[in-house]
Structure 1
């Protein structure tokens, strides 16, 4: 892989300004199961991954339970190929449990551990490579506190109880972000999981999702690299496209809009172009290279970061990951 004098930070700043940088920026991110159970372990695994592939930004990817364990959630590693853990204890059993969620201290417990992890990583990479911390939306956190099916039941049968819980979750999330501001981090990777027509109506998402999302995103103003991840199929793209952020990432290869369609209506930077499973896991380096070429040509390499629609499966072959990195060195926009 060639190295140039321009830093990853400078390349992304150029991309975000609307200009075409020396090459298309690229980033992949993944879970690190087992390693993610201590801040030192997650930091070491994340750093090793970055040193090997030299991506243009680092997404810190803790287990989704990092923000819930101080409330009593429990999970374990059972070998999921995406690197995610299975929940073994849900916190919310009855509607009245939402109001019992305490306001957590972000400087202690598992939240404090994550701040420590971020400090380790930014100490090594922040001057030249941006670092962003994963933040799950309040509704996504609520899902993991109760389970997806029961969340939808509470949303429709006990809305006031759920609102009480979402209010607590939002307050704690903002407290955590305020503590993150004391580190050298560059922004957040904000995961929105319920802007899907197969889960909620637009009105339901507005009420239980977007309202709380905008409050959280108000707290991250001033950071220059805030990325929205729109998860799932049949997504409500237009309900999220106006969120205050600098980059939008979604499963563009499996749900509309396509990259080229999104560029017509979205003024920020888009991130995607590669399929997680069909290409990065089951494909060949040649297939990865061609899919990357198609994505770069369809966006003309402008306001575009090459990546996947979601997390890189932990079983993706090294050669396919290298092909992603090499593609941006060899493919020039038209």
Structure 2
């Protein structure tokens, strides 16, 4: 099977020649230049031949045009630390302008997306899109966002509307460049951060608006980040694939698979297995995940980004695991 054929069959629960597999990581330093970033993404795919490419930029790509600033300090996940939050007071949410995706840092990222699409014409490609609440966190800082959410909800909602419209325009522009879907990253649907009622108010309406914009794409993925996620709140989201930290927090793959109409993506522990483990452990964990799901409506991967110091031999073992016969 070709990659697209294999993935589309997996999404429908039809037989596949082997389970699809995909891993992704950050490319620090390179992610600050469109050409260098595109080259890094393409080279990673050419080395491992995954079934789709998830483009993973620095999270600041979508908020720097509003004045956010971040720095690279050597984090093992490849992420950058925010040093400037443009939203300080509740009124600042009402002053955010709607961004033009063809300009500034957003435009540079679209340039990288176009370069990747040109270099990998046959590989399914998804762009990372952060939820408005996740973007708001990076505009205000984690604690200030929660303070405004509870003390100045109307002002925050004004900001979320602006962020949503800016994101919808970016999604439209990315789809026009030939991507196959979006990787929609939700970071606040956790009982450790919000109540379900709070997420229904400050998360769901904006999520749905963005997912409607991406509705014409066939490979939209939902990523629920963190621990104690509100999984049941998302089982009817209009996406093809559900991804969360399944080796670290409920539900297990098989349980989630019974709840959603599409595919589940996971099975590999990012740190204990891909960083600290051995190829044998990677293969054993992959085979357990395939057995748990029956190899149907399943994509082998991790709950989030692969740390940048994960041994390459373990990444190759993950790719090799799906080629092995069952048993």
- In the superposition, the TM-score normalised over structure 2's length comes to 0.99
Quick one: distance in 1 between partners of 2:325 and 2:214? 34
8 Å Cα contact 2:12-2:262 kept in structure 1: no
- Find the partner of 1:72 among 67, 71, 86: 67
8 Å Cα contact 1:197-1:234 kept in structure 2: yes
Matched, 1:297 2:291: yes
Quick one: distance in 2 between partners of 1:241 and 1:135? 19
Tell me by how many angstroms 1:14 deviates. 1.3
Quick one: distance in 2 between partners of 1:129 and 1:241? 27
Alignment deviations for residues 182-228 of structure 1 (CA, whole Å, 9 cap, x no partner): 11110000000011000000000000011110011010011000000
Matched, 1:130 2:127: no
8 Å Cα contact 1:103-1:172 kept in structure 2: yes
Q: Secondary structure at the match of 1:306?
A: strand
Quick one: distance in 2 between partners of 1:87 and 1:229? 22
Quick one: distance in 1 between partners of 2:129 and 2:34? 16
Equivalent position of 2:6 in the other structure: 11
Quick one: distance in 2 between partners of 1:206 and 1:200? 10
Quick one: distance in 2 between partners of 1:331 and 1:323? 14
Tell me by how many angstroms 1:31 deviates. 0.4
Matches within 5 A, 1:289-328: 289-328=283-322
8 Å Cα contact 1:140-1:193 kept in structure 2: yes
Quick one: distance in 1 between partners of 2:46 and 2:172? 29
Equivalent position of 1:3 in the other structure: none
Equivalent position of 1:61 in the other structure: 56
- Find the partner of 1:202 among 181, 196, 214: 196
Cα-Cα RMSD: 0.9
Quick one: distance in 2 between partners of 1:291 and 1:54? 20
Tell me by how many angstroms 1:148 deviates. 0.6
- Find the partner of 1:240 among 217, 234, 237: 234
Quick one: distance in 1 between partners of 2:119 and 2:233? 37
Quick one: distance in 2 between partners of 1:59 and 1:68? 20
- In the superposition, the TM-score normalised over structure 1's length comes to 0.97
Q: Secondary structure at the match of 1:330?
A: coil
Alignment deviations for residues 67-108 of structure 1 (CA, whole Å, 9 cap, x no partner): 011111110100000000000100101110011111111101
Tell me by how many angstroms 1:17 deviates. 2.0
8 Å Cα contact 1:32-1:45 kept in structure 2: yes
Quick one: distance in 2 between partners of 1:32 and 1:279? 21
Tell me by how many angstroms 1:181 deviates. 2.3
- Find the partner of 1:192 among 183, 186, 190: 186
Quick one: distance in 2 between partners of 1:234 and 1:223? 29
Structure 1 residue runs without a partner (length 5+)? 1-5
Equivalent position of 1:115 in the other structure: 110
Equivalent position of 1:91 in the other structure: 86
- Find the partner of 2:141 among 147, 153, 156: 147
8 Å Cα contact 2:175-2:181 kept in structure 1: no
8 Å Cα contact 1:293-1:331 kept in structure 2: no
8 Å Cα contact 1:7-1:129 kept in structure 2: no
8 Å Cα contact 1:20-1:303 kept in structure 2: no
Quick one: distance in 1 between partners of 2:235 and 2:303? 15
Equivalent position of 2:219 in the other structure: 225
Tell me by how many angstroms 1:327 deviates. 0.3
Which stretch of the first structure deviates more once superposed, 143-152 or 175-184? 175-184
Quick one: distance in 2 between partners of 1:64 and 1:190? 12
8 Å Cα contact 2:126-2:182 kept in structure 1: yes
